[in-house]
């Protein structure tokens, strides 16, 4: 039975804030930096509890990335906080040189990723961040799907040695990941076993994928549902095994199709297990102003879109 209990609704950034506070309590070396967005990133609780371990950097993201790299020299575990747009595109070279190439243990924590940032429009809705970060050698890229998973991911990356990009969002979304579900970096969460089609989803699209899968199952189509929270390193093994069993794969993400989860799954399948594939994501386009719901609908990121992609890919295998 494909059934996940919704235990509440909250934004994934609040999961980050709660995880950061907890990580700070567990490890005195955890420190945090923010570029004038403390409230948006939900970093208030950490600041209140550990003011001496919190560094306001002002509207200066390039400097923030460098300072974070420096704090690791001396054993600190810095978490940087700003919007996904300013966490990646704006500071790509700083991350590349001072963090990734230098192998620094910095946790780049990025909120308001994707279209669901909403009304602020395309200037702030980054849809390329996963691609940019994934291209960096040695960078771990994580895109959790709800409050509980984001909190668990935040705690997991604090214990992990190496640079990490953690991507989360602004709107309140259903909480459905069990609070005690273990979070293992690089390991897919196999949410449901099925034999007709594989649906692989990340971030906000995981709940949409659950809804699509429920609809498909109601029609008698058996769905193998996989949550990829760690986009890099990709759990190729889980993807290939599932694809071999179902012979049809759908990916779903709130990101450009080029360079995102879909691209990476396509690459893995082409190399290891060529399989018909349909991808749900933003197709080479910028976003625009609107409510998160309107934008997800307009850009084809609804559960109906995942459902339709599943039907298409099932037709392809016949």
Active site residues: 61
Cβ proximity to another protein, 66 vs 81, nearer residue: 66
Site residues for another protein, 78-117, by CB under 8 A, read 78, 93-94, 96-98, 101-104
Q: How far is it, in rounded angstroms, from Cα 145 to Cα 11?
A: 10
Contact residue for another protein among 42, 53, 167, 204 (CB under 8 A): 53
What is the CB neighbour count within 10 angstroms for residue 1?
5
60 near another protein, judged by CB under 8 A: yes
CB of 271 to another protein, least distance (A): 27
Q: Which stretch binds another protein (CB under 8 A): 5-13, 49-57, 140-148, 186-194?
A: 49-57
Q: What is the DSSP string of 98-133?
A: IIITTT---EEEEES-SGGG-TT-TTT--SSHHHHH
Q: Which stretch binds another protein (CB under 8 A): 65-73, 155-163, 177-185, 262-270?
A: 65-73
25 near another protein, judged by CB under 8 A: no
Assess contact for 68 and 80: CB atoms under 8 A: yes
Q: Which stretch binds another protein (CB under 8 A): 55-63, 115-123, 150-158, 199-207?
A: 55-63
72 near another protein, judged by CB under 8 A: yes
- Kind and range of the H or E run holding 256: strand 249-256
Q: What is the DSSP string of 273-289?
A: ----EEEEEE-S----S
Contact residue for another protein among 3, 5, 51, 52 (CB under 8 A): 52
CB of 63 to another protein, least distance (A): 4
Q: How far is it, in rounded angstroms, from Cα 107 to Cα 77?
A: 8
Three-class secondary structure of residue 306 per DSSP:
helix
Q: How far is it, in rounded angstroms, from Cα 87 to Cα 55?
A: 16
285 near another protein, judged by CB under 8 A: no
Residues 6+ apart with CB under 8 A from 81: 32, 33, 34, 35, 37, 38, 41, 43, 109, 111
Tokens at residue 97, please? Answer: 């040189």
With tokens 């709130």, the residue in question is 254
CB of 24 to another protein, least distance (A): 13
Contact residue for another protein among 20, 34, 41, 65 (CB under 8 A): 65
292 near another protein, judged by CB under 8 A: no
Contact residue for another protein among 13, 42, 76, 229 (CB under 8 A): 76
The site for another protein (CB under 8 A) is made up of 31, 52-53, 55, 57-58, 60, 62-76, 78, 93-94, 96-98, 101-104
């Amino acid at each position: 039975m494909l059934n996940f209990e919704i235990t509440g609704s909250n934004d994934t950034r609040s999961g980050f804030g709660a995880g950061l506070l907890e990580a700070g309590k567990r490890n005195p070396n955890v420190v945090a930096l923010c570029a004038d967005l403390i409230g948006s990133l939900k970093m208030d609780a950490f600041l209140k509890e550990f003011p001496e371990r919190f560094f306001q950097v002002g509207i200066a993201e390039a400097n923030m990335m460098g300072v974070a790299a420096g704090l690791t020299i001396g054993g600190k575990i810095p978490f940087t906080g700003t919007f996904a747009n300013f966490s990646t595109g704006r500071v790509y070279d700083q991350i590349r040189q001072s963090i990734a190439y230098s192998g620094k243990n910095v946790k780049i924590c990025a909120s308001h990723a994707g279209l669901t940032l909403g009304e602020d429009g395309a200037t702030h809705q980054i849809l390329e961040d996963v691609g940019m970060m994934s291209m960096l050698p040695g960078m771990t890229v994580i895109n959790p799907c709800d409050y509980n998973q984001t909190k668990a991911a935040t705690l997991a990356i604090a214990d992990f040695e190496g640079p990490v990009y953690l991507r989360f969002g602004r709107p309140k979304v259903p909480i459905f990941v069990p609070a005690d579900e273990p979070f293992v970096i690089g390991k897919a969460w196999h949410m449901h076993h099925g034999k007709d089609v594989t649906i692989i989803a990340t971030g906000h699209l995981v709940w949409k994928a659950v809804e699509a899968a429920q609809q498909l199952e109601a029609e008698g189509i058996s769905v193998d549902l996989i949550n990829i929270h760690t986009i890099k390193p990709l759990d190729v093994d889980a993807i290939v095994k599932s694809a071999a069993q179902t012979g049809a794969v759908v990916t779903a993400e709130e990101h450009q199709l080029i360079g995102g989860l879909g691209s990476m799954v396509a690459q893995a399948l082409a190399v290891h297990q060529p399989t018909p594939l349909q991808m749900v994501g933003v197709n080479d386009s910028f976003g625009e102003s609107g409510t998160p719901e309107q934008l997800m609908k307009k850009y084809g990121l609804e559960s109906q879109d995942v459902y339709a992609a599943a039907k298409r890919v099932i037709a392809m295998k016949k």
